[in-house]
Amino acid sequence: MQATPQSEAQLLEYCEAIAGYSLSELADMANIETPENLRKNKGWVGQLIEWHLGATAGSKPEQDFKHLGIELKTIPIDSQGKVLETTFVCSTPILHTTHLTWQNSNIRNKLSKVLWLPVQGERTIPLSERLVGNGFLWTASSLQEQLMQQDWDELMEKIALGKIEQISARDGQVLQLRPKAANGQVVTDAYGENGELIKVRPRGFYLKKVFTQEIINQQFNLI
């Protein structure tokens, strides 16, 4: 595994060193086997990139480069720079939300500074041949932060009011709430509308494609 980067500049050097390589080439360097597809290996690309960039968090609920205050997000795009998927940010707190605010939330901490790493994502290209693009650092503008906070406030209010099962992926302008678990059998406690405990699937916060597309467009001057 690559040594942990000690500065932003070093982290960007690491990114530069892997840009243009295919996933199978990077996997060979790391002595990791390349799966045929991502159906049963959803987090594989992210883990491979983490290995090459010396990320330290693993699955812990903290930034991937905590000492630098930076979160790593790989983002699948096509040859035109079109974002192909929503971006998972973190798990959603469901029960203990009383003292939570946007300012002290895990999602805001995760998104305070992000290293975006575009990866070819067209399904027509075999996983092994997909190339890694140029990584870049991003911090939300005040408008972007305002939009995220607005969505977060509305979604968390619905959860607190026991309306979690009424939230759909269409809610929110830039953030969405979706079930996030290994399978449909995994459940957790939540409050129902009458304050009773109910069983629901765990949820995760995702950034909508319209939002991440704007970030990619700004970075690479795409129209």
Q: How many Å apart are CA 217 and CA 223, to the nearest integer?
A: 6
Q: What is the pLDDT of residue 222?
A: 84
Phi, psi of 125 (to 5 degrees): -95, 125
Predicted confidence (pLDDT) at residue 223 exceeds the cutoff of 80: no
Tens of pLDDT along 95-133?
Answer: 988 899 999 999 999 999 999 999 999 999 999 999 999
Predicted confidence (pLDDT) at residue 184 exceeds the cutoff of 90: no
Q: What is the pLDDT of residue 57?
A: 62
> Please, how many CA atoms are within 13 Å of residue 97, restricted to the half-sphere of its CB?
19
Q: How many Å apart are CA 118 and CA 15, to the nearest integer?
A: 11
Q: What is the set of domains in the chain, with CATH numbers? A: 8-220 (3.40.600.10)
How confident is the prediction for the chain on average, in pLDDT?
A: 94
Tens of pLDDT along 37-54?
Answer: 888 888 899 999 999 999
DSSP string, 119-160: EE--TTS-GGGPBB---EEE---HHHHHHHHHHHHHHHHHHH
Question: For residues 141 and 1, which has the higher predicted lDDT (pLDDT)?
Answer: 141
Question: For residues 60 and 172, which has the higher predicted lDDT (pLDDT)?
Answer: 172
Q: How many Å apart are CA 142 and CA 138, to the nearest integer?
A: 13
Predicted confidence (pLDDT) at residue 134 exceeds the cutoff of 90: yes
H-state helical runs in the chain: 8-18, 23-29, 44-53, 106-111, 142-160, 209-220
